[in-house]
Amino acid sequence: MEKETVEKVHCLIVGSGPAGYTAAIYAARANMKPVLYQGIQPGGQLTITTEVENYPGYPEGVQGPEMMVNFEKQAVRMGADIRYGLATKVDFSGPVHKVWIDDEKLIEADAVIIATGASAKWLGLESEQRLNGYGVSACAVCDGFFFRGKEVAIVGAGDTACEEAIYLSKLASNVHMIVRKGEDGMKASKVMQDRVKATPNIKVYWNSETVEVTGGAKVEGVTIKNNVSGEQQTVPVSAFFVAIGHQPNSGIFKGWLDMDEADYLITTPGTSKTKVEGVFAAGDVQDKIYRQAVTAAGSGCMAALDAERYLSEKGLV
């Protein structure tokens, strides 16, 4: 690699959701001169969310994209260097951490904060993407509130899907839960299955799949096919929640950092530290439990403070 494509920085932040931007705010205020690369989706998952009502400090609620613009502006005002670009390869073998951006530029960083987030898994339907944010959501905890007293549908068969169905049952009039396999093939733990079955306003459609989400400007229904009989029916609903899992954006760190069975980065409990000294992880790339903007922001703060201590101990800042 040619010399002029190498840049040396104190603190590199990879990713730009609430975790990345919060880390940038704290790192900049601590004079760590952070450089943040925004990744493939500047602003992260919140940029495909419409109304955010559960983030403290916004009594009237806020649009997800607007909120991320505010986070970015605050980071820039503090002195963070925010850039477009995607981290495509890393080398964490030495004391200086190497990260390649867009396969061409090499960044050598004393400390790296990974905030690459996670991406919701989707069914792959055209209508699902078209109505995303207009009744289609991958987060019941985020968006269920908007459909109080209405009929909603949820697709999924794991513990998270069951938890979200039960959560929705407390808000919605009825929850239509679509499960691809029969009762014996459901992934969720027995206790979660029993809770779903014991909830009177959850109707489970076994051996069923989603054919289409119907509606023009917003969700109006869902067409469900029974895989045994072949019969189809369209159920009127106001919202369609996809709970088939998330995929952490951790692929480029394979072989360098410890991950769990679902590829979430493993951090030392109570910290943002990974197994590599000077490399920290924050937000949804290491959190498969909470996955909220406020928890991501909190872990971004932790990562910046951990990185500051690390750089200080090394005499680098």
- Residues carrying an active site annotation: 139, 142-143
* Cβ-contact 114, 14 below 8 angstroms: yes
Q: How far is the C-alpha of 99 from the C-alpha of 175, rounded, in Å?
A: 45
DSSP 206-233: TTEEEEEEE-SSS--EEEEEETTT--EE
What are the backbone angles phi and psi of residue 24, rounded to the nearest 5°? -65, -40
Can you say whether the dihedral through the CA atoms of 114, 10, 70, 303 is positive or negative? positive
* Cβ-contact 232, 148 below 8 angstroms: no
Q: Which of 249, 178, 184 is nearest to 210 (CA)?
A: 178
E strands in 263-313: 279-281
Find the distance separating the first CA and the last CA of the chain, reported in whole Å. Answer: 28
CB atoms within 10 A of CB 106: 17
Q: How far is the C-alpha of 45 from the C-alpha of 51, rounded, in Å?
A: 13
